Amino acid sequence: MALEIRLVKLINGDMVIGKWDVENNKIQDPAILQTIPTQQGGVQMMLLPFGYPFDNEIEGEISMEHVLYQYKSVPEELKTKYLEASSNLTLSTANDLRNLENLGQGGGNVSNIGDLFRK
């Protein structure tokens, strides 16, 4: 059973992403989404296990009764990063696959392998 990825804000103000279990009305494998200011004046997003620093794995569950707000949609890049962090797998996106056609272009124009060796 595939669970939908949801982004929610808890009643304590934490922004959490996780897998929504409709039957049990819970967020499974929650991760906290934190914003960190950069020196350039922008912000970066960081995903941490909900129980960090005591838990180093993304696991556990949060009842939906602790949710103040549910975001309508989750950006695809954020979903991908969450799935990578929670599963320890690296996922390819459509853009990664489109860039495959550019690999191998501009290589050397050597027709005789002997030309590669110094004489």
> Domain holding 79: CATH number?
2.30.30.100
| Count of domains for the chain | 1
Judge whether 32 lies within some domain: yes
pLDDT in tens, 19-77: 999 999 999 999 999 989 999 989 998 999 998 888 888 999 999 999 999 999 999 99
pTM for the model stands at: 0.70
- 94 occurs within a structural domain: yes
Q: If we measure between CA atoms, which residue out of 22, 17, 109, 114 comes closest to residue 70?
A: 17
Q: State the Cα–Cα distance between residues 34 and 74, nearest whole angstrom.
A: 15
Give the C-alpha distances (Å, rounded to integers) separating 44 from 11, 19, 22, 81, 94: 23, 23, 31, 13, 23
Mapping DSSP to helix (H, G, I), strand (E, B) and coil, where does residue 57 land? coil
**Could you tell me the end-to-end alpha-carbon distance of the chain, in angstroms, rounded to an integer?**
64
pLDDT at site 75? 92
C-alpha–C-alpha distance, residues 73 and 7, integer Å: 8
Residue numbers of the domain that contains 53 = 4-99
